[in-house]
A and B are shown apart, each in its own frame.
Chain A
């Protein structure tokens, strides 16, 4: 071990003596900064992951469409299911209807799902907050929690549905036709945690949607779930190429790009805002090390008298910044991971102390605080924290290297 590294370590962690306050304070700053960054970024990752999984759950990994009506959706779905990467391929139909309940109108988006697919039924079953999938048939619909709230709907209520097709027919008639709505029952109320879906969505059977839109056996597209390990964008491109025009594949990321980019942007902004803590900690390291250099002036003179070069003297103090950075980062990662491990206990304790209701569950539909520690984030946080702490040691190191050894030895 080079002597300057040895001395740097001993200055920070002396033998047989109390832990120096300087080391403790500098370390604490870095530990808190790194731990806060890890906790916040991991919670952001967790939220992002949960929301992404909800989006991909409701949207599917891919949707194959042709810009119009698929005449033989079952045939196309069968072709798609022969592909190695495709787990399930299920026809769907989508459109807007006017829904009327006790003279209150709303125009939600209706998605017709194929109830022959167990997976589809199970998926929406998981999101039901009222009712049951057993109640879901061609005469009933599932409504999102937002929609149910706006219209005051409960399971078992009956609503009237008008499609644009019905209205067109009425306009084209000579006035003798009567517009008869389709009466459907509320089979369940669901909440996915994804606001876009929860706000204004109706799930019906594909048959009901085909009936409302007069699609026959047609559908608007095929929803694809990929097998694990396949890249969505890559597979989408391959599938579109294999089907040829006019088919194209839309990924769940394409369809929700704006929303996903906001999540990414928020994460980046939080990273930069919280990184200020580490920068503030680095100023504490710098000021402590500068004081330390002044306290150790005679020692610096001694090292010079013993043959230490200015670079070695600089390294001795610069390394102290780096060691604080490395130790603080490692301990910060440990603290951050511990806080994440006990995050639910901590949030529930805080909620009970502050008498705050479980708003997370109400707003986001999460019964727990989601968090995902990503190794990429850990590496970036660690490297930047160590770099900043090392840079903080540069000014004291420069001062030490520029000291006149004679004056340093004479200092009191």
Chain B
């Protein structure tokens, strides 16, 4: 359960969530704006702490881990992609990807792997570009490459197509799915789009703090 205080009142944003993601699984979480999808994703990523309940990574409970310990585990297990890309504006596309590897500590052949990932997402010719000179779709590709460079076990994508037109969104989804399939990375996609949710192996919908299974592929 995750409870937030609003004025004098407490709001239980999440109160009935039971979800298990296996290696290589793809899953979508849908729901209305403000229903707690991002909160759920943050709890899964260990960025936020549940008021009640338990979270497991690789069958290991992380709910009581310190912030420092969680950060170390997170760097090797979880990759995140956000709606707003969050690239570091002061450094070039390639360096943004390399930065992901550096933070995770996965630095073997880092420059080479980063180049190869950028080529894989179709940005072979834009490696030296600063984020400000890239289009939204290109920025999201860099963000995907940055998330994948640490070889995570799970990729958490929080509305990755939310700021993109349909063609760019489709392209981003293709890349996300292909990369996750290739590297056997579990993908959890938070999205408003039924079309993209349907592309995932399993789908959930979050309503009034309760996560309900939507359908099976």
Contact = CB atoms under 8 A, between A and B. Distances in A.
Q: Give the size category of A's interface with B.
A: 20 to 34
B102 interface: yes
A378 interface: no
Interface in B70-112: 71-72, 74-76, 78, 80, 82, 84, 86, 88-92, 95, 99-100, 102-105
Nearest to B73: A307
Contacts of B26: none
Interface in B90-138: 90-92, 95, 99-100, 102-105, 130
B76 A307 contact: yes
B99 to A, nearest CB: 6
Given A307-B76, A309-B68, A310-B68, A14 B103 contact: no
A115 interface: no
Contacts of B99: 3, 6-7, 306
B74 A406 contact: no
B71 A308 contact: yes
B45 A305 contact: yes
Nearest to A311: B68
Contact of B103 (A3, A10, A298, A405): A3
A312 B42 CA distance: 20
A409 interface: yes
B47 interface: yes
Contact of A17 (B82, B90, B146): B90
B107 to A, nearest CB: 9
Interface in A388-412: 405-406, 409
A7 B130 contact: no
Task: Indicate the size class of the contact surface on chain B.
Answer: 20 to 34
Chain A contact residues, majority secondary structure: helix
A304 interface: yes
Given A15-B91, A303-B103, A310-B67, A406 B48 contact: yes
B150 interface: yes
A306 B92 CA distance: 18
Nearest to A408: B47
Given A17-B90, A409-B82, A304 B102 contact: no
B75 A306 contact: yes
Nearest to A306: B103
Given A302-B86, A309-B71, A310-B71, A10 B91 contact: yes
A15 B45 CA distance: 31
A306 B80 contact: yes
Contacts of A298: 84, 86
Pairs of residues from A and B, 6 with the lowest C-beta to C-beta distance, nearest first: A307-B75, A3-B102, A14-B90, A302-B86, A309-B71, A10-B90
5 contacts: A3-B103, A10-B91, A14-B90, A15-B90, A17-B130
Given A305-B45, A306-B104, 10 more contacts: A3-B102, A10-B88, A14-B89, A14-B91, A298-B86, A309-B68, A310-B71, A406-B47, A406-B48, A409-B42
